[in-house]
Amino acid sequence: MTSRNCYELLEVAPTASQLEIKQAFRRVIAKYHPDKVQHLGVELQSIAAVRTAEITQAYRELSAVPSGGNHETPTQSPRPPSRDASSGDRDEARGLVQRAALARFRNALREEGWSGEPVVAPFDVAATSAGGWRQKGWKILGRVVGEWSDATVQETWAAASRIQRNDSRNAWVFLLGPGDASHAQPRQSVSRARMTDVCRSEPALVLILVDVGTWHADVPNRTPPLMTALLRRLSA
């Protein structure tokens, strides 16, 4: 993302100070808060989720730029951004993105005919397929995280495996987070998990990474039509 786009997203001038950038971020991000868009249609909620991610990324980038943008004089030494000053705002922004992503995921499940089930930590969503698919034993577990990490992938896989021991249905686990779902580290973690799954007897357990910024998903080969339809709904 270019500096110009960052300033435009936050609706501030390139000469804005860190305080002005922070105030602008809070003002602009509030427009897309999940509580303000939950009554709108799914398409508008999806747009709000994408916009929230873009605004958050713009704020992160500008938080690392010295006050006044690129207009520091050569004699001035750039001041490092204050982590304490911006950490609270970043946590708030991350929370907004996570709530918006969760709302979009739930809407997609509902529109594809999935029914909610009791949720077990650390997951945020549990759903079962309706109609004829129920007899085929499909279940979805969903979790929204603030960042990708090897530990997060392994923790999610372990939790799903524990739940699966007492469930005879095939489970697809959706791990939703910011950033490219094909990133090397989480992709390697998922690959190891899927290799473990090959040795399992039915029911199957499959882990899917979904980027909540682009809604691109890293899916295995031979993904069943039921899951393909859900992924299309998410990325539409």
* pLDDT of res. 41: 60
Rounded CA separation 19/13 (Å):
13
Rounded CA separation 82/18 (Å):
10
Is residue 3 scored above 90 in pLDDT?
no
* pLDDT of res. 89: 55
**Helix, strand or coil, per DSSP, at residue 33:** coil
- How confident is residue 223, by pLDDT bands cut at 50, 70 and 90? confident
Structure tokens at 53: 């991610």
Q: What is the pTM of this model?
A: 0.61
Is residue 42 scored above 70 in pLDDT?
no
Distance of CA 35 to the CA centre of its chain: 18
* 217 or 50, greater pLDDT: 217
Q: Within 13 Å of residue 143, how many CA atoms lie on the same side as its CB? A: 22
Q: Angle at which helices 3-10 and 42-63 pack, to 10 degrees?
A: 120
Is residue 225 scored above 50 in pLDDT?
yes
* pLDDT of res. 220: 79
Evaluate whether 200 touches 78 at the Cβ level (below 8 Å). no
Is residue 134 scored above 70 in pLDDT?
no
Mean pLDDT across the stretch 180-194? 56
* 71 or 204, greater pLDDT: 204
* 76 or 145, greater pLDDT: 145
- How confident is residue 129, by pLDDT bands cut at 50, 70 and 90? confident
Is residue 203 scored above 80 in pLDDT?
no
Is residue 102 scored above 90 in pLDDT?
no
Compute CA distances 138 → 25, 107, 187, 193, 236, whole Å.
41, 18, 24, 19, 23
Evaluate whether 104 touches 46 at the Cβ level (below 8 Å). yes
Q: For the chain, what is the mean pLDDT?
A: 75
